[in-house]
A and B are shown apart, each in its own frame.
Chain A
Amino acid sequence: DAMVIQNPRYQVTQFGKPVTLSCSQTLNHNVMYWYQQKSSQAPKLLFHYYDKDFNNEADTPDNFQSRRPNTSFCFLDIRSPGLGDAAMYLCATSLTGGSYEQYFGPGTRLTVT
């Protein structure tokens, strides 16, 4: 089945220790998104890639970076995680020219100690 896969599902890191989260998709969608979601809050868009074009939301902290080495994979790097970065990180994909529907991976729960 076509899907969005995220690894790891759970990540524990220490304060200030860099961490990388990964996302892959077999849907052949050209747009990929990274969201941060904290408890009882709406998903907050951090970045998206429209094909190879990288788009950074204005309020995304510099501590967050992203890479998309090919159409199927996308990475989220947190350079120096703080306690406030503990959250669920969601990867989503969509297809341009279509319905704007976004499909989410299972998420990575990040804990910062």
Chain B
Amino acid sequence: QKEVEQNSGPLSVPEGAIASLNCTYSDRGSQSFFWYRQYSGKSPELIMSIYSNGDKEDGRFTAQLNKASQYVSLLIRDSQPSDSATYLCAGANSGGYQKVTFGIGTKLQVIP
């Protein structure tokens, strides 16, 4: 079974620190990876996509992908209390239709 694994947390970081969220995946056919932010009671919001090995930066967010290790991460710099949410990692393979497999999500708490 193709899986995306995340530590459910909670991960607590002080305001202004770097939050590091990690994810591993089992399907070597996965080509595309996504990070979604989900506030309690709300729907997932796409914040980052990454398709190639290496780093991708967007503002305070950096996504990292290592396909050899089947590992994806999200760094949030200068963490703010408003970043407190659950972060879902997801992967999609290139075959067939666009099925995306989601992880359970890591709950991040940014402490003021």
Residue contact A107 to B32, C-beta cutoff 8 Å:
no
B98 — which chain A residues lie within 8 A by C-beta?
A: 31, 48, 50, 94, 96, 100, 102
Interface size band for A: 20 to 34
Within 8 A of A (CB), among B1-45: 4, 8, 32, 34, 36, 41-45
Residues of B within 8 A of A42 (CB): 4, 88, 102-105
Pick from A40, A55, A102: contact of B8, CB under 8 Å? A40
Would A105 and B43 be within 8 Å (CB), given that A50-B97, A94-B98, A99-B51 are in contact? yes
In the complex, what distance in Å separates the CA atom of A50 from the CA atom of B99? 11
The answer to whether A48 and B34 have CB atoms under 8 Å apart is no
Chain A interface (Cβ within 8 Å of chain B)?
A: 31, 40-43, 45, 48, 50, 55, 88, 90, 94, 96, 99-107, 109
Given contacts A106-B42, A107-B42, 15 further A-B contacts (CB under 8 A): A40-B104, A42-B88, A42-B102, A42-B105, A43-B44, A43-B88, A48-B97, A88-B43, A90-B43, A94-B98, A96-B98, A99-B49, A100-B92, A100-B98, A102-B34
